[in-house]
Structure 1
Amino acid sequence: MAPGTDPAVLRALEELLPGRCSTRPADLEAASRDASSLPGARPDVVVWPLSTDEVAAVVRLAYEHAVPLTARGAGSSLEGNPIPVRGGIVLDCARMAEVVSVRPADLQVDVQPGVVYAALNRRLRPHGLFFPPSPGGSAELATIGGMVANNASGIYSVRYGGTRDHVRAATVVSGTGRVLRLGNRCRKSASGYHLLGLLVGSEGTLAIATELTLALAGLPAARRHGGFGFPDARAAARATADLIRFGIDVAAVEFLDERTVRALNRLGGFGLAETPCLLVEVHGSEAGVGDAWPAAEEVLADAGGSPLVVPGGNPWAIREQVTRAIEALSPGAATVRADLAIPIGALPELVGRAEAIAGARRLEAHLFGHLGIGIVHVLIRATEAERAAAEAVRDALVEAALGLGGSCSGEHGMGIGNRRYAAREHGEALELMRAIKDVFDPGGILNPGKMW
């Protein structure tokens, strides 16, 4: 039932969550956007539950009346993941922001989905622990629930893994309002199907997580980092693979193409050599880092890498400015982005194709990302007149990534922006995905219009 949710449903919601339902235009407008520029639809109502029972009651009401329901975190996603496309209810998890339990002996924490990533790590720091998957520049915005919905990764995933690797258990509400507990507090289990793994990365289309048990890592006693310039993307890809192949304990390996480096120099006057580069970090004990960093430098040099002079000595302060630097090249233009995943060795081919495909349309593609796990982001700036050409470049680069054995999305999810590639990537397996969706959400009310 959308657009125009039944007034009786709105009254029932207000009875369930008195003072925590809104049909104010400003709230509806805010809930219809995320950090992308993708179009959605304004919801009919926004609600702010505080507990699992309240979420379950709202979902049951939505299911009984066939009202679309979209769960929302901070709205920092880049593919329209939490934007409603058929109105209905937006269930905003921002007020479910309790750190329920910290268990240092288990290296675990229990949280509600509205806990903000950076706030969680500040809470964990006195225990010598942290939650490793990092949303980068949105760390002060991104919520744990949103990260779980997208299976977020970040710069440190080459060592610690992505979000799915850190979710041990979850309390979830299915599309009928049924409360389920998935997983357990064990590190390893060989019991039953891994339903929890389906939840992570499902973008709120299967169930809504209301409490999560997360595995943590110890804060490294020492770390070393630096930047290295390379003659070309092939040398950078070789260096990345060698770092991993030789067992060097790298925590991060980030790639910036020369256009991206040039944009950074223009924004901040960093004076970096305008060649493809890697930003590398190692973690460990003082002794371990003392051994690992020279070994990493040797591998990088053997592949043709030259140390960069990084202003302030902190490459991550520069890395966090990449998007802003690219957008500053053409104020007022729109950003068309792709979030590709490829085998590491396919980087040179992808860079070459990006150059040719974008150049043929007189556009520039900037490539950067978490090369240690094969994720490459592509940003294309385009005026309104160039928008269709930029979208065609994106489509061609997704096709190139798929042809190289990759994926249309490494970490941003399908949302609205990537859903058109689902059939091409998954083929007949998409039928099984739809069948799984029907089991968890038989009414099709949870975040409709996403994934495919």
Structure 2
Amino acid sequence: MSIQAAWPELQSVLGDRITRSKSDLDAHGGSETYFPAAPPEAVAYPETTEEVSKLAALCHGHGIPIVGYGAGTSLEGHTSAIRGGLTVDFGRMNRVLEVHQGDMDAVIQPGITREALNLELRTTGMFFSVDPGANASLGGMAATRASGTTTVRYGTMRDNVLALEVVLADGRIIRTGTRARKSSAGYDLTGLFLGSEGTLGLITEMTVRLQGQPEAISAGICAFDDMSAAVEAVVAVIQMGLPMARIEFLDPDAVRAVNAYSGTDVPETPHLFVEFHGTENGVADDAARFTEIVADFGAHGVEVAIRPEDRTALWTMRHHAYWACLGLRKGCRALVTDVCVPISRLAEAVTETQADIAESGMLGPILGHVGDGNFHAILLVDPEQPAELEVARKLGSRMSERALRLGGTVTGEHGIGIGKLAYMEAEHGEAWAVMGDIKAALDPRGILNPGKMVRT
């Protein structure tokens, strides 16, 4: 249903914090990748859970679609309002509500970003560990079950969210989980909502696990002559049980991109970026052992960064890699792949992907969180050339099919959104239908982020 009929009621809830201005609609309808714009009919800026509840109840009664929105950093079109309706922007629900130092957890609102949360925690000796690279909102990270560069040591959002407050489609407010570190009481509803991409409810509060700041941090970079040797080195390091906080991979095109973007002069060959957390002696021993292992696979140019400013420069290069890769071809858009395979099949997956990209003639830098078996190809296409997008889509399909063949998943961290919906049945089989049953039970009118996650 059009939002017009419900407009007076919606305004009665938020007043001038709900808008139909073109600038607001356009700002909430785009995507950082290749998807066409799909703006909502209105944008709401709630400040409390009760306001979100009232909005949901009104939309439920009128059959109006609702799309949750955080920082807008998703890469698979999660926040595109493909069926119109109301976008609920959580940017004003961005506070840290409680910090429990003794229990190492915090209660937060969903609109706070990862960087803002860690800035708030800077005097506590603790930090929030999940780092997807982008300065994403914690609510969006929970909704997509995000992970990132530090997952190899600290886990994903699934491992770092203890409890949630959620507004259901009909406006009911529920709480899932507790601040206790474990429970055997009932279904794991917290796990159900993590990764549901706003299709089951709107997250309005979170209790997150915090980590202690390590005594010492050591980072490093090393080069290889070919991709297969670099990936095999990663596999060996993982299998040796070396406790890394991060281990990242960039292929020659990705290194070329970050050199141009960041003004660095790293040799344009495959590289690993690694970081260790622990005691002074511990990180020194870990770095030395890492150097020994990768040397067996032909690593050279090993550099270690201990000073904070040097580590920051190193990881800034990696975190800016997506934008750097876009700069390799001015005016391009990106189709960003996101497969994840068992570590033992990682070398096979990467080398086959490299061969596919080379054969296609596309420009597609490869990089990723290879410590988890998760890597990306950023396929650069001219938006004015539909044939290029079709070639990129076929490459992405081959990567997804390969990941499934090797026992993996079509998305390690970016989620389903619009872009990966076609692979859900292949990955989940009959379980995908069960997801649809759960969706129908919690959202019988299908208003929550419709067209995403399940068959509709």
Q: What TM-score comes out, normalization by structure 1 length?
A: 0.94
Give the aligned partner of residue 72 of structure 1: 69
Q: Letter of the 1:113 partner, please give it.
A: P
> 1:129-148, aligned counterparts within 5 Å?
129-136=126-133, 138-139=134-135, 142-148=136-142
Give the aligned partner of residue 251 of structure 1: 245
Give the aligned partner of residue 390 of structure 1: 392
Give the aligned partner of residue 5 of structure 1: 3
Give the aligned partner of residue 447 of structure 1: 449
Asked if residue 90 in structure 1 is aligned to residue 87 in structure 2, the reply is yes
Asked if residue 125 in structure 1 is aligned to residue 122 in structure 2, the reply is yes
Asked if residue 375 in structure 1 is aligned to residue 359 in structure 2, the reply is no
Q: Letter of the 2:408 partner, please give it.
A: G
Following TM superposition, by how much is the alpha carbon of 1:174 offset from its aligned partner in structure 2, in angstroms?
1.1
Q: Letter of the 1:36 partner, please give it.
A: T
Aligned residue for 2:361, secondary structure, equals coil
Asked if residue 420 in structure 1 is aligned to residue 414 in structure 2, the reply is no
Following TM superposition, by how much is the alpha carbon of 1:150 offset from its aligned partner in structure 2, in angstroms?
1.0
Which one of the candidate residues 406, 409, 414 is aligned to 2:408?
Answer: 406
Asked if residue 152 in structure 1 is aligned to residue 146 in structure 2, the reply is yes
Aligned residue for 1:18, secondary structure, equals helix
Aligned residue for 1:307, secondary structure, equals strand
Q: Letter of the 2:422 partner, please give it.
A: R
- The question of whether the paired residues in 1 share the 8 Å contact of 2:31 and 2:37 is answered with no
Q: Letter of the 1:58 partner, please give it.
A: L
The answer to which of 409-418 and 317-326 deviates more is: 317-326
Following TM superposition, by how much is the alpha carbon of 1:269 offset from its aligned partner in structure 2, in angstroms?
5.3
Q: Letter of the 2:426 partner, please give it.
A: R
Tell me how far apart the structure 1 counterparts of residues 336 and 65 of structure 2 sit (CA, whole Å): 28
The answer to which of 309-318 and 172-181 deviates more is: 309-318
Following TM superposition, by how much is the alpha carbon of 1:340 offset from its aligned partner in structure 2, in angstroms?
1.1
Aligned residue for 1:110, secondary structure, equals strand
Following TM superposition, by how much is the alpha carbon of 1:435 offset from its aligned partner in structure 2, in angstroms?
0.8
- The question of whether the paired residues in 2 share the 8 Å contact of 1:339 and 1:376 is answered with yes
The answer to which of 77-86 and 257-266 deviates more is: 257-266
Following TM superposition, by how much is the alpha carbon of 1:302 offset from its aligned partner in structure 2, in angstroms?
2.6
Tell me how far apart the structure 2 counterparts of residues 129 and 364 of structure 1 sit (CA, whole Å): 41
Give the aligned partner of residue 58 of structure 2: 61
- The question of whether the paired residues in 2 share the 8 Å contact of 1:273 and 1:308 is answered with no
Following TM superposition, by how much is the alpha carbon of 1:320 offset from its aligned partner in structure 2, in angstroms?
2.4
Following TM superposition, by how much is the alpha carbon of 1:355 offset from its aligned partner in structure 2, in angstroms?
2.9
Tell me how far apart the structure 1 counterparts of residues 49 and 212 of structure 2 sit (CA, whole Å): 30
Following TM superposition, by how much is the alpha carbon of 1:26 offset from its aligned partner in structure 2, in angstroms?
1.1
- The question of whether the paired residues in 1 share the 8 Å contact of 2:33 and 2:333 is answered with no
Q: Letter of the 1:275 partner, please give it.
A: T
Q: Letter of the 1:31 partner, please give it.
A: H
Give the aligned partner of residue 314 of structure 2: 315
Give the aligned partner of residue 204 of structure 2: 210
The answer to which of 322-331 and 47-56 deviates more is: 322-331
Following TM superposition, by how much is the alpha carbon of 1:309 offset from its aligned partner in structure 2, in angstroms?
4.9
The answer to which of 61-70 and 39-48 deviates more is: 39-48
Tell me how far apart the structure 1 counterparts of residues 299 and 246 of structure 2 sit (CA, whole Å): 16
- The question of whether the paired residues in 2 share the 8 Å contact of 1:150 and 1:202 is answered with yes
Which one of the candidate residues 28, 31, 36 is aligned to 1:31?
Answer: 28
- The question of whether the paired residues in 2 share the 8 Å contact of 1:99 and 1:120 is answered with yes
Q: Over aligned residues, Cα RMSD in angstroms?
A: 1.7
Which one of the candidate residues 292, 297, 303 is aligned to 2:297?
Answer: 303
Q: Letter of the 1:412 partner, please give it.
A: H
Deviations, residues 41-62 of structure 1 (Å, cap 9, x unaligned): 3212111111111111111111
- The question of whether the paired residues in 2 share the 8 Å contact of 1:272 and 1:309 is answered with no
The answer to which of 321-330 and 48-57 deviates more is: 321-330
* Alpha-carbon spacing, 1:407–1:284, altered in 2? closer, same or farther (3 Å): same
- The question of whether the paired residues in 1 share the 8 Å contact of 2:33 and 2:336 is answered with no
Tell me how far apart the structure 2 counterparts of residues 316 and 165 of structure 1 sit (CA, whole Å): 23
Tell me how far apart the structure 1 counterparts of residues 88 and 439 of structure 2 sit (CA, whole Å): 19
Give the aligned partner of residue 329 of structure 2: 330
Tell me how far apart the structure 2 counterparts of residues 317 and 280 of structure 1 sit (CA, whole Å): 13
Tell me how far apart the structure 2 counterparts of residues 23 and 143 of structure 1 sit (CA, whole Å): 23
Q: Letter of the 1:306 partner, please give it.
A: H
- The question of whether the paired residues in 2 share the 8 Å contact of 1:343 and 1:406 is answered with yes
- The question of whether the paired residues in 2 share the 8 Å contact of 1:97 and 1:112 is answered with yes
Q: Letter of the 2:369 partner, please give it.
A: H
- The question of whether the paired residues in 2 share the 8 Å contact of 1:272 and 1:310 is answered with no
Count residues with an aligned counterpart: 446
The answer to which of 260-269 and 38-47 deviates more is: 260-269
Q: Letter of the 1:379 partner, please give it.
A: I
Following TM superposition, by how much is the alpha carbon of 1:191 offset from its aligned partner in structure 2, in angstroms?
2.0
Following TM superposition, by how much is the alpha carbon of 1:211 offset from its aligned partner in structure 2, in angstroms?
0.6
Which one of the candidate residues 16, 19, 26 is aligned to 1:19?
Answer: 16
Which one of the candidate residues 172, 177, 196 is aligned to 1:178?
Answer: 172
Q: What TM-score comes out, normalization by structure 2 length?
A: 0.94
Aligned residue for 1:106, secondary structure, equals coil
Tell me how far apart the structure 2 counterparts of residues 262 and 29 of structure 1 sit (CA, whole Å): 33
Following TM superposition, by how much is the alpha carbon of 1:116 offset from its aligned partner in structure 2, in angstroms?
1.4
- The question of whether the paired residues in 1 share the 8 Å contact of 2:219 and 2:304 is answered with no
Tell me how far apart the structure 1 counterparts of residues 268 and 302 of structure 2 sit (CA, whole Å): 10
Give the aligned partner of residue 81 of structure 1: 78
Deviations, residues 295-340 of structure 1 (Å, cap 9, x unaligned): 2222222333223458956421221232233222210122121111
Following TM superposition, by how much is the alpha carbon of 1:90 offset from its aligned partner in structure 2, in angstroms?
0.7
* Alpha-carbon spacing, 1:242–1:354, altered in 2? closer, same or farther (3 Å): closer
Tell me how far apart the structure 1 counterparts of residues 442 and 213 of structure 2 sit (CA, whole Å): 37
Q: Letter of the 1:98 partner, please give it.
A: R
Following TM superposition, by how much is the alpha carbon of 1:364 offset from its aligned partner in structure 2, in angstroms?
2.7
Structure 2: which 5+ residue stretches go unaligned? none
